Structure 1
Amino acid sequence: MTDHTRRTFLRGAGAATAALAGVPLTVSAADGDSWTVAETPTGNTLYDVAYAADGAYAVGAGGVVLERTDRGWRKLLDGGPTGNGNSLHGLDVTDDGDRLWFAGSSGAIGEYDIPARTLYSHSAPMDITNNFNGVAVRGEAGSANVYVAGDSGKIYYSFENGATGTWDYVTPGSGSAVNAIDFHGPRSGHAVDGNKTVFVTDDGVTWEKLGIENANVNFYGVDSDGDGDVTVSAGGGVVHNWNGSSWTPEDTGDAGLRDVEADGVDALTVGGGGAVYRRDSAGWTREATPTGQNLTAVTPVDSSIELAVGAGGTILER
């Protein structure tokens, strides 16, 4: 793994593949080591969550941006980067942890300077007002490479911090919606689309198909940790792992898995009906959660406070 990933800040804030397909899962709810529901100031669905240098943030429907403080969760922004209430579906953080980037409906793209408490809108790049499903950023605050996953099957990118006139786009596949995108280097990363396809790039511009043959399920989440270390969450409770030469499917159950975060053998994935699954050296385990709400995103596994978000403004903490 190279450069920064979101788990860099997760450690600061809190601080091979293992299972065979079809292995039965147990449910874990040890006292003092279980998921709890946090009080939140919104009933809107939350679509993504991430750690920055100063703590955790979440984004969701209606353009809401939440921050976790020492007094709990509070609204940082409402209405999105333009104030029009466009929902925010993706969230990422610059390598120094000082700026949030988020993207969502109707071409919404925002950049929030945390130390300066200042919001910048980069919405409707190239006059595009399609829906965006995810965002990945690499680089320092003010000079980041920005990549946005489009519902129209395009990936939009700027190598100059989203400045006007610096955007371009590429259609990596068939035109199916690009559901998720993640980068492990300045221009190296992976994306998944609604046509059961994983794409890889090493220049941020040219994308090639990486798989997955005969997957038979939709892909929703991707964790890109290296050229030979990719994890994809999918429908039907399946997680796919790429080791640089082949894909290995792992069966966790039936829930559609909307997001995944992996760090070697350790991993977390979340999905429908409040499902949370954890992987360690013994394989996948379903963990008990105090909600039946659909979960959409999760933070990495190596913090004292792990977070998962979803429908109804739900935030789980562990």
Structure 2
Amino acid sequence: MSRTRRAFLAGAAGTVAALAGCSTGSEPRRGWVTVDSPTGAALHDVVMTEEGPVAVGGGGTVVHRADGEEWSTVDDDGPADAANGLSAVAATDDGQHVWFVGSSGAVGRLNLADGDVRDYSAPGGKTSTWEAVTVIGPAREERVFVANGSGELLVAALNGREATWEGPRKPTGGNNAIALDDADGVVFLASQNAVARRANGQWNRVDAPGASITDVAAVSGSVFDAVTDSGGISSYNGHNWLRAADAEKSLAAVDRVGGRGLAVGDGVVRILTNGRWRDDDGPDASLHGVALGTARFADVAVGTEGTIAERF
């Protein structure tokens, strides 16, 4: 899972009190609230943008919450109207373009300014399931990284609407790719047993911290967190793995921005405050994706049967 909107989130970190749509009457709501969802399809990932969160899931579903609005469906059958399930989503640094990937080679791009959805599916003739995506740069000049279950990585350079694809490469040695993220221009590609880091055009591999990785979140160009199927949260400091926390249940997704962090899984939510991970009283649902909020938008977690929960 990728959260490539850190450039604008960094400026909003620590200013999340005045959130849009988080009050009823004059009394603000606090904690996690399960909100009305426009879909019953499973939602697999979510990304935060300057224009609000965007989540993707089963059957090509794409949903968005604009400032001051309820969640609504942007697209109900995905790129090329093929109804292929979507597994991951990421945004450009300015949050104007949102990219999503999924089964049967599905690759699409949503322009939040006008709602236009473009189809870039089957790049390089690849029609397997894309498991992960991350994006570097602003809209119309972005570089898009997509990875599939065979560990193949393709990279697209955008010039206006045209995409030129490079690859494939296998930075994790061909192991199943499960997550991509980036920070400070550095890309991280995770498989279950390793994380590959790309800086200055070179890939370097770091073995997993003793359990199967399920997601990664970049903190900086050298530091990243990983969550595992055993419920562990570990941080790689550029030299070594440090065990940060353990949970009783598997964790599926993690997001980090500065000193803030959220991790979610099957009926479990963990929050990073004051440098420590602790349990949070989240929704009793199987959660697949999470995105930290901004001054205008709440933290968001998504999961099965269209579940959308927001934390104010």
Q: TM-score, normalised by structure 1?
A: 0.85
Partner of residue 21, structure 1: none
Q: Secondary structure at the match of 1:198?
A: strand
The C-alpha deviation readout for 1:177-199, integer Å capped at 9, x for no partner, is 1100011134x2211102x1111
Q: Which moved more, 1:165-174 or 1:63-72?
A: 165-174
- 1:1-318, aligned counterparts within 5 Å? 5-6=5-6, 8-9=8-9, 11=12, 32-69=29-66, 70-160=68-158, 163=162, 165-186=164-185, 188-194=186-192, 196-203=193-200, 206-212=202-208, 215-272=209-266, 274-281=267-274, 283-291=276-284, 293-300=285-292, 303=295, 305-318=298-311
Aligned-partner Cα distance in 2 for 1:192–1:6: 19
Q: Which moved more, 1:93-102 or 1:215-224?
A: 215-224
The C-alpha deviation readout for 1:110-138, integer Å capped at 9, x for no partner, is 01112132111110001100101111011
Query: CA 1:102–1:220 in 2, change beyond 3 Å: closer, same or farther?
Result: same
The AA in structure 1 aligned to 2:286 is N
The AA in structure 1 aligned to 2:204 is E
Partner of residue 25, structure 1: none
Q: Which moved more, 1:218-227 or 1:154-163?
A: 154-163
The AA in structure 2 aligned to 1:46 is L
Q: Secondary structure at the match of 2:48?
A: strand
Contact kept, 8 Å, 1:6 with 1:93, in 2: the verdict is no
Q: Number of aligned pairs?
A: 293
Contact kept, 8 Å, 1:267 with 1:301, in 2: the verdict is no
Structure 1: any 5+ residue segments left out of the alignment? 16-30
Aligned-partner Cα distance in 2 for 1:290–1:259: 15
State the 1:301 CA deviation: 5.9
Cα root mean square deviation, aligned: 2.3
- Percent identity between the aligned chains? 28
Query: CA 1:52–1:32 in 2, change beyond 3 Å: closer, same or farther?
Result: closer
Aligned-partner Cα distance in 1 for 2:221–2:138: 22
Structure 2: any 5+ residue segments left out of the alignment? 19-27
Contact kept, 8 Å, 1:126 with 1:165, in 2: the verdict is no
Partner of residue 19, structure 1: none
Aligned-partner Cα distance in 2 for 1:94–1:137: 6
The C-alpha deviation readout for 1:47-82, integer Å capped at 9, x for no partner, is 111122211111111100001133411101011111
